[in-house]
Copies of this chain bind each other. A is one copy, B any other.
Amino acid sequence: MPFIQFHVVEGRSDQELAALLDATHRVVLDTLHVPVRDRYQIVHEHKPSRIRAEDTGLDIERSDKFVLLHITTRHHTTEEKTTFYRKLCAELERSCGIPPTDVMVSIVENTDSDWSFGLGRAQFLTGELQGATGDDTSAPRGPKHPAELAGASLGRST
């Protein structure tokens, strides 16, 4: 369910982009506790002149390896998010050679009723996937149960 849009400077090979997507998905699974096949990723490649990424005065130097991940997802706790940021940078450096200075993330949250994965159904509401609350308020939700979610995914049960 996280829908992740990657904004990158054009010039990476197919292999480099695949490695970026795979590495990110590993971190999503590890830190956001979603099902294995909960993977929705899109890459936008931009000419250098079509992208401006400064640093809000933080003294962070950008290179042409800059990646901005724009993530749409249901609610995650602050701890989940901060862990995600930290492990994402570590993993992208380790497996893709992208320096932590080039990794930016912006998250937008929505709710159970905002997702349909296909078949015209809102699977978080139908019970096919575990909903966070059961209504569509924007209030913080209770804890999710990653084990159950992972189980549902691995078994491909509905």
Contact = CB atoms under 8 A, between A and B. Distances in A.
Interface string A79-122: 00110011111100000000011111111111001111111111
B49 A18 contact: yes
A78 B113 contact: yes
Contact of A86 (B70, B121, B140): B121
A42 B49 contact: no
A135 B78 contact: yes
Contacts of A38: 54, 56-57
A128 B35 CA distance: 34
Contacts of A23: none
A32 interface: no
Interface of A: 1, 3, 7, 14, 17-18, 21, 25, 34-46, 49-60, 68, 70, 72, 77-78, 81-82, 85-90, 100-110, 113-123, 125, 128-129, 135-138, 140, 152-158
25 contacts: A7-B42, A14-B49, A17-B50, A35-B57, A39-B52, A40-B106, A56-B123, A56-B129, A57-B154, A57-B155, A59-B158, A60-B117, A72-B106, A78-B122, A81-B122, A81-B136, A86-B120, A88-B120, A100-B118, A100-B119, A102-B118, A103-B119, A103-B120, A104-B117, A109-B110
Given A38-B54, A58-B129, 10 more contacts: A14-B49, A40-B53, A40-B68, A42-B44, A42-B51, A44-B44, A58-B158, A81-B114, A82-B113, A89-B119
